[in-house]
Structure 1
Amino acid sequence: MSREFQRGHKARVSDLTAGTDLYIGVRIGGPGLTFDISCFGLDAEEQLSDDRYFIFFNQPKSPEESLQLLGPQAGDTESFRVTLDRVPERIRKLSFTATIDGAGQMSQAGPGYLRIVAGGEEVARYSFTGSEFSTERAVMVGDLYYKDGWRFAAVGQGFDGGLEALLRNFGGEVLEEEEAPAEAPAPQQAPGFAPPPFAPPASAEPEPRPTAAQSYA
């Protein structure tokens, strides 16, 4: 059974599932809005000390492939595969974020969520709506962080800037000119990693796009 989380709630991943091969699905959208959904792999100081752990549409996986961008699937606007036992020790937090690409603000977003799937079954879900935000252009949706074992935190924290501002907030470098987005990688599977069930629609239909951005303590 999937455990429902409210903003600010935290739990040990081991209390949700015995697995370490996780599927993270994010759904977000709104009329006329396009979102970039990303994962920031942060160090103990909550900084992006290694740009190779900024997982987004132009960089779909980390060097050892412990973090992988899977693309839209199973009703999710964007999805990731996280293999916790392969994440390097210097990476202490995985922050999943959503930023608006273009005009708009978070208050215009429809109902959305972040969900964790393990072994083909959803084990956790944090739901949110645009009414929880105002003029922010980004939201730090949820975190997986290491504190005596991996834990999950439902964050739901708005952020005033867009993706570049969020990147700077985490100490990353913003390139003057980004390359054209790479094609979304095909869903990855491996022994013990089952594709998630289709997520029930969250009323507002998002505009899927292989994209990037997210974090919290």
Structure 2
Amino acid sequence: MAIQLSKGQRIDLTKSNPDLTRAIIGLGWDTNKYSGGEAFDLDASAFLTGSDGRCTEDLDFVFYNNLEHPSKSVIHSGDNRTGEGAGDDEQLIVDFSKIPSTIDKIAITVTIHDAERRNQNFGQVSNAFVRLESADTNEELLRFDLGEDFSIETAVVFCELYRHGQDWKFSAVGSGFSGGLSALCKNFGLEV
């Protein structure tokens, strides 16, 4: 049975699960019904950073236009433009054995595409979650339900995977940003 995390909790991944080499990070959400006239398009991304919390190059940003890190350590499953249906809306596959030694953290984020023009924000998103399962056994190891803590934010850091010595840990972050993908890129050291 998966461990249910609360905002701010951290948990060991690879020390407690020594056979865990590949993980599927599943992200999901529902959008509230409102008469804004435009469909929602939420997008998952991963920022691979050094110890300073910044990406060293554009290719350290894995998203719908760059589906694979050059090391093949993080692979995006592809853009789901509707988010309809149950289960994961988008997935990222992380291979811990392929993460370059220069990468100390992987921030998993979700943004609302074109949110400002469409007048959309995370206050209109419900049932958002991130879960991690073993890619080899399909066993769900942990889950973090974000709750309804957001109002004007257009981007959210759902969680972080971070290096601790030789092991990897998971942090349930749930931190919102205004300014969408552009604000996140700047936060992680990328030029927009």
TM-score (norm: length of structure 2): 0.85
Q: Which one of 89, 93, 97 corresponds to residue 77 of structure 1?
A: 89
Q: Distance in 2 between matches of 1:125 and 1:20?
A: 18
TM-score (norm: length of structure 1): 0.76
2:71: which partner in 1? 64
Q: Which one of 163, 177, 188 corresponds to residue 146 of structure 1?
A: 163
Where does 1:53-132 land on structure 2 (aligned, <5 Å)?
Answer: 53-71=60-78, 75-102=87-114, 103=118, 104-118=120-134, 119-129=137-147, 131-132=148-149
Q: CA deviation at 1:33?
A: 2.3
Deviations 1:164-212 (A, max 9, x none): 11101111122xxxxxxxxxxxxxxxxxxxxxxxxxxxxxxxxxxxxxx
Q: Distance in 1 between matches of 2:15 and 2:172?
A: 15
Q: With CA pairs under 8 Å and 6+ residues apart, which has the higher RCO, 1 or 2?
A: 1
Q: CA deviation at 1:16?
A: 5.0
Deviations 1:12-66 (A, max 9, x none): 1035532121111000231442211100001110001121110001110011211
Q: Please give the root-mean-square deviation of Cα atoms over the aligned residues, in Å.
A: 1.6
* Count of residues paired in the alignment: 173
| Paired residue secondary structure (1:40) | strand
In structure 2, do the counterparts of structure 1 residues 114 and 70 end up closer, same or farther at CA, with 3 Å as the change threshold? same
Where does 1:1-217 land on structure 2 (aligned, <5 Å)?
Answer: 1-14=1-14, 17-18=17-18, 19-31=20-32, 32-71=39-78, 75-102=87-114, 103=118, 104-118=120-134, 119-129=137-147, 131-148=148-165, 149-174=167-192
Q: Distance in 2 between matches of 1:159 and 1:15?
A: 32
CA contact (8 A) 2:123 2:153 kept: yes
Give structure 1 stretches of 5+ with no counterpart.
175-217
Q: Distance in 2 between matches of 1:80 and 1:123?
A: 15
Segments ≥4 residues shifted beyond 6 Å: none
Q: Distance in 2 between matches of 1:77 and 1:87?
A: 24
Give structure 2 stretches of 5+ with no counterpart.
33-38
CA contact (8 A) 1:48 1:54 kept: yes
In structure 2, do the counterparts of structure 1 residues 59 and 70 end up closer, same or farther at CA, with 3 Å as the change threshold? same
| Paired residue secondary structure (2:54) | coil
Deviation larger for 79-88 or 8-17? 8-17
In proportion to residue count, which structure has more strand? 2
